[in-house]
Structure 1
Amino acid sequence: MTEDFYCEEVLSGNTAVNKVVETENVLAYHHTRPFYPVHIVVIPKRHIVSLLALEKIDNDLLLELFDVIKKVATDVIAEHGACRVLTNLGKYQDSKHLHWHVAYGEPISREVLN
């Protein structure tokens, strides 16, 4: 996997994605290799390494990001009754680009994905 899948593949257009919501600064799309039956990724279009790298200058972007997360989560809850919203840090964060997962259902077996 690349260091920043989201910049190098998704935002560059090298990997096509099924968009859910797009604003000027944020993109939400169906995960390309989902871990859950419903698995949507929400990313800022500007590179930010992780939640820990956010600074005060990012406050407007963070508000826009959370507006999109809220909309996606509201839609998933309306359809399925529940969802998870999470981000990963450190060694749990495969791609070094801030991203949030909005997911519903039990994890899909990795054997099914391969």
Structure 2
Amino acid sequence: MTEDFYCEEVLSGKTAVQKVYETDRVLAYYHTRPFYEVHIVVFPKVHIDSLLTMRVEDNDLLIELLEVIKHVSAQVVEEYGACRVLTNLGEYQDSKHLHWHVIHGKQIKEDGAR
């Protein structure tokens, strides 16, 4: 995997994705290699390494990101009854671009929602 899958593959168009929801600054799509029965990734379209590197100047973007996560999560809860929302940090974060997972159902692949 590349160091930043979201910039290098998704935003560049090299890897096609099935979009779930999109704003000018945030994209939500079905994971290309899902670890769960329902596995959606939400990320900002500008590069931010992780939640830990966000700056005060990023607060508006963080609010927009959380609004998209809320919207997508509400859709999953409406359809399936429940979901989990998580982000990975440090060594757990395979792609060094801030992203969140909205997941539901049984784990279908090992290594969790990385």
Q: Determine what percentage of the aligned residue pairs are the same residue.
A: 71
What secondary structure is seen at the aligned counterpart in 1 of 2:68? Answer: helix
Compute the TM-score of the two structures, normalised by the length of structure 1: 0.95
1:47-104 per-residue CA deviation (whole Å, 9 max, x = no partner) reads 0000000110000000100000000000000000000000000110000000000000
User: How many aligned positions are there?
Assistant: 110
For residue 11 of structure 1, what is the amino acid of its counterpart?
L
Q: Which runs of 4+ in 1 moved over 2 A?
A: none
Q: Which residue of 1 aligns with 2:66?
A: 66
Q: How does 1:6-21 map to 2 (within 5 A)?
A: 6-21=6-21
Kept in 1: contact 2:34–2:109 (CA 8 A): no
| Partner Cα separation in structure 2 for residue 14 and residue 24 of structure 1 | 19
Hey, what's the Cα distance between the residues in 1 that align with 2:109 and 2:44? 28
Q: Which runs of 5+ in 1 are unaligned?
A: none
Map 1:41-56 → 2, pairs under 5 A: 41-56=41-56
Quick one: distance in 2 between partners of 1:106 and 1:52? Answer: 29
- Looking at structure 2, the residues matched to 88 and 109 of structure 1 have their Cα atoms a distance apart, in angstroms, of 17
Give 2:45's aligned amino acid: K
Residue 88 of structure 2: aligned partner: 88
Corresponding residue of 1:25:
25
Displacement of 1:109 in angstroms is 3.4
* Richer in strand (by share): 2
Rounded to whole Å, the distance in 1 between the matches of 2:109 and 2:98 is: 25
Could you tell me how far apart the structure 1 residues matched to 2:109 and 2:89 are?
22
